[in-house]
Structure 1
Amino acid sequence: MLKEFRTFIAKGNVLDLAIGVVIGAAFGKITTSLVEDIIMPVVNVFTGGGITGGIILKEATVDAAGKAVPAIAINYGNFLSVVLNFFIIAWILFLIVKGANKLKLTEN
Protein backbone atom coordinates (compact mmCIF):
# COMPACT_ATOMS: atom_id res chain seq x y z
CA MET A 1 0.00 0.00 0.00
CA LEU A 2 2.86 2.39 0.81
CA LYS A 3 4.51 1.63 -2.53
CA GLU A 4 1.24 2.33 -4.34
CA PHE A 5 0.87 5.64 -2.48
CA ARG A 6 4.47 6.61 -3.34
CA THR A 7 3.77 5.86 -7.02
CA PHE A 8 0.62 7.98 -6.90
CA ILE A 9 2.43 10.94 -5.29
CA ALA A 10 5.34 10.70 -7.74
CA LYS A 11 3.05 11.06 -10.76
CA GLY A 12 3.51 14.31 -12.63
CA ASN A 13 -0.13 15.39 -12.30
CA VAL A 14 -0.05 15.37 -8.50
CA LEU A 15 3.23 17.28 -8.38
CA ASP A 16 1.99 19.76 -10.99
CA LEU A 17 -1.16 20.34 -8.96
CA ALA A 18 0.82 20.88 -5.75
CA ILE A 19 3.12 23.36 -7.46
CA GLY A 20 0.14 25.10 -9.03
CA VAL A 21 -1.55 25.50 -5.64
CA VAL A 22 1.58 26.99 -4.05
CA ILE A 23 2.19 29.36 -6.95
CA GLY A 24 -1.51 30.26 -7.03
CA ALA A 25 -1.45 31.18 -3.34
CA ALA A 26 1.63 33.36 -3.84
CA PHE A 27 0.09 34.98 -6.91
CA GLY A 28 -3.09 35.61 -4.93
CA LYS A 29 -1.07 37.58 -2.38
CA ILE A 30 0.50 39.63 -5.17
CA THR A 31 -2.86 40.51 -6.74
CA THR A 32 -4.39 41.28 -3.34
CA SER A 33 -1.51 43.62 -2.56
CA LEU A 34 -1.86 45.28 -5.97
CA VAL A 35 -5.54 45.95 -5.34
CA GLU A 36 -5.29 46.96 -1.66
CA ASP A 37 -2.03 48.93 -1.79
CA ILE A 38 -2.06 50.52 -5.24
CA ILE A 39 -5.52 50.54 -6.84
CA MET A 40 -7.83 51.02 -3.82
CA PRO A 41 -6.04 54.17 -2.56
CA VAL A 42 -6.80 55.75 -5.95
CA VAL A 43 -10.43 54.59 -5.73
CA ASN A 44 -10.62 55.98 -2.18
CA VAL A 45 -9.60 59.42 -3.46
CA PHE A 46 -12.71 59.45 -5.66
CA THR A 47 -15.05 57.93 -3.05
CA GLY A 48 -13.90 60.17 -0.22
CA GLY A 49 -11.99 57.61 1.84
CA GLY A 50 -13.51 54.33 0.88
CA ILE A 51 -16.90 52.71 0.82
CA THR A 52 -18.34 52.78 4.32
CA GLY A 53 -21.75 52.54 5.81
CA GLY A 54 -24.02 50.26 7.68
CA ILE A 55 -27.29 49.85 9.46
CA ILE A 56 -27.09 49.55 13.24
CA LEU A 57 -29.61 46.96 14.45
CA LYS A 58 -28.69 47.21 18.11
CA GLU A 59 -26.53 49.87 19.77
CA ALA A 60 -23.46 48.95 21.82
CA THR A 61 -24.27 48.64 25.51
CA VAL A 62 -22.69 47.83 28.85
CA ASP A 63 -24.16 44.86 30.74
CA ALA A 64 -24.78 44.66 34.48
CA ALA A 65 -21.27 43.29 35.12
CA GLY A 66 -19.71 46.29 33.38
CA LYS A 67 -18.73 44.30 30.31
CA ALA A 68 -19.10 46.05 26.94
CA VAL A 69 -21.56 44.42 24.53
CA PRO A 70 -20.69 45.37 20.95
CA ALA A 71 -23.21 46.84 18.54
CA ILE A 72 -24.93 44.59 16.03
CA ALA A 73 -24.85 46.06 12.53
CA ILE A 74 -25.22 45.20 8.88
CA ASN A 75 -22.03 46.57 7.33
CA TYR A 76 -23.05 46.95 3.71
CA GLY A 77 -20.15 49.34 3.06
CA ASN A 78 -17.61 46.64 3.88
CA PHE A 79 -19.51 44.17 1.66
CA LEU A 80 -19.52 46.61 -1.28
CA SER A 81 -15.79 47.21 -0.78
CA VAL A 82 -15.07 43.46 -0.89
CA VAL A 83 -17.22 43.08 -4.03
CA LEU A 84 -15.33 45.96 -5.69
CA ASN A 85 -12.01 44.31 -4.73
CA PHE A 86 -13.22 41.05 -6.28
CA PHE A 87 -14.10 42.71 -9.58
CA ILE A 88 -10.77 44.55 -9.71
CA ILE A 89 -8.85 41.33 -9.03
CA ALA A 90 -10.95 39.44 -11.61
CA TRP A 91 -10.23 42.17 -14.21
CA ILE A 92 -6.49 42.07 -13.49
CA LEU A 93 -6.43 38.28 -13.78
CA PHE A 94 -8.39 38.51 -17.04
CA LEU A 95 -5.80 40.90 -18.46
CA ILE A 96 -2.93 38.68 -17.32
CA VAL A 97 -4.47 35.54 -18.83
CA LYS A 98 -5.27 37.43 -22.04
CA GLY A 99 -1.66 38.62 -22.25
CA ALA A 100 -0.30 35.15 -21.52
CA ASN A 101 -2.51 33.64 -24.24
CA LYS A 102 -1.28 36.24 -26.70
CA LEU A 103 2.34 35.33 -25.85
CA LYS A 104 1.59 31.64 -26.40
CA LEU A 105 0.15 32.34 -29.85
CA THR A 106 3.25 34.24 -30.99
CA GLU A 107 5.68 31.55 -29.73
CA ASN A 108 4.38 28.84 -32.07
Structure 2
Amino acid sequence: MTDPNPLYGDACEVCSTYDVFPESALRDGAYGITAGYRCPNCGHVWTCGWQIVPGRAIPPEPGTDPRIFHPQVNAQVHEQAAIARARKHLSRGDSA
Protein backbone atom coordinates (compact mmCIF):
# COMPACT_ATOMS: atom_id res chain seq x y z
CA MET A 1 0.00 0.00 0.00
CA THR A 2 1.28 3.47 -0.87
CA ASP A 3 1.56 6.02 1.93
CA PRO A 4 -0.99 8.78 1.12
CA ASN A 5 1.03 11.37 3.07
CA PRO A 6 4.73 10.39 2.96
CA LEU A 7 6.08 13.73 4.24
CA TYR A 8 3.51 14.72 6.92
CA GLY A 9 2.02 17.32 4.56
CA ASP A 10 -0.73 19.66 5.75
CA ALA A 11 -2.94 22.40 4.29
CA CYS A 12 -2.76 26.11 5.07
CA GLU A 13 -5.88 27.29 6.89
CA VAL A 14 -5.43 30.86 5.62
CA CYS A 15 -5.14 30.39 1.84
CA SER A 16 -6.04 26.67 1.50
CA THR A 17 -2.75 25.69 -0.15
CA TYR A 18 -2.47 21.89 -0.07
CA ASP A 19 0.63 19.78 0.38
CA VAL A 20 2.61 22.20 2.54
CA PHE A 21 5.44 20.12 3.95
CA PRO A 22 6.97 20.66 7.40
CA GLU A 23 10.09 22.74 7.67
CA SER A 24 11.16 21.06 10.89
CA ALA A 25 9.89 18.83 13.68
CA LEU A 26 10.65 17.72 17.23
CA ARG A 27 9.91 14.27 18.58
CA ASP A 28 7.05 14.18 21.03
CA GLY A 29 7.88 11.11 23.06
CA ALA A 30 8.47 7.78 21.33
CA TYR A 31 5.45 7.86 19.05
CA GLY A 32 4.79 11.44 17.96
CA ILE A 33 6.22 14.59 16.43
CA THR A 34 5.36 18.27 16.54
CA ALA A 35 5.90 19.61 13.03
CA GLY A 36 6.30 23.25 11.98
CA TYR A 37 4.98 24.64 8.70
CA ARG A 38 5.27 27.88 6.72
CA CYS A 39 2.97 28.36 3.72
CA PRO A 40 4.95 29.09 0.54
CA ASN A 41 2.07 31.21 -0.82
CA CYS A 42 0.93 33.43 2.05
CA GLY A 43 3.66 32.97 4.69
CA HIS A 44 1.28 31.72 7.43
CA VAL A 45 3.11 29.71 10.14
CA TRP A 46 1.58 26.88 12.18
CA THR A 47 2.33 23.60 13.95
CA CYS A 48 0.66 20.22 13.86
CA GLY A 49 1.07 17.10 15.96
CA TRP A 50 1.43 13.73 14.22
CA GLN A 51 1.76 10.14 15.26
CA ILE A 52 4.99 8.72 13.79
CA VAL A 53 4.31 6.36 10.89
CA PRO A 54 6.95 3.62 10.57
CA GLY A 55 8.97 4.06 7.39
CA ARG A 56 7.91 7.69 6.88
CA ALA A 57 10.73 10.25 6.84
CA ILE A 58 10.72 12.55 9.88
CA PRO A 59 11.49 16.22 9.13
CA PRO A 60 14.76 17.62 10.51
CA GLU A 61 14.97 19.14 13.97
CA PRO A 62 14.80 22.94 14.08
CA GLY A 63 18.15 24.56 13.39
CA THR A 64 19.70 27.97 13.71
CA ASP A 65 20.41 28.81 10.06
CA PRO A 66 17.69 31.35 9.05
CA ARG A 67 18.27 30.52 5.35
CA ILE A 68 16.95 27.02 6.02
CA PHE A 69 14.90 27.27 9.23
CA HIS A 70 12.45 30.15 9.69
CA PRO A 71 12.81 31.62 13.24
CA GLN A 72 9.05 31.86 13.79
CA VAL A 73 8.56 28.22 12.76
CA ASN A 74 11.35 27.18 15.14
CA ALA A 75 9.79 29.14 18.01
CA GLN A 76 6.34 27.63 17.48
CA VAL A 77 7.69 24.08 17.20
CA HIS A 78 9.63 24.44 20.47
CA GLU A 79 6.66 26.08 22.22
CA GLN A 80 4.14 23.43 21.15
CA ALA A 81 6.54 20.60 22.03
CA ALA A 82 6.97 22.11 25.52
CA ILE A 83 3.20 22.41 25.94
CA ALA A 84 2.76 18.76 24.90
CA ARG A 85 5.40 17.64 27.44
CA ALA A 86 3.73 19.67 30.20
CA ARG A 87 0.32 18.16 29.42
CA LYS A 88 1.75 14.65 29.63
CA HIS A 89 3.41 15.36 32.98
CA LEU A 90 0.30 17.03 34.41
CA SER A 91 -2.00 14.26 33.19
CA ARG A 92 0.12 11.75 35.13
CA GLY A 93 -0.12 13.86 38.27
CA ASP A 94 3.51 14.99 38.16
CA SER A 95 4.29 18.43 39.49
CA ALA A 96 5.40 20.95 36.87
Structures share fold, TM-score greater than 0.5: no
Q: Which has the higher contact order (CA 8 A, sep 6+)?
A: 2
The structure richer in helix per residue is 1
Q: Which TM-score applies when normalising by structure 1? A: 0.31
The structure richer in strand per residue is 2
Q: Which TM-score applies when normalising by structure 2? A: 0.34
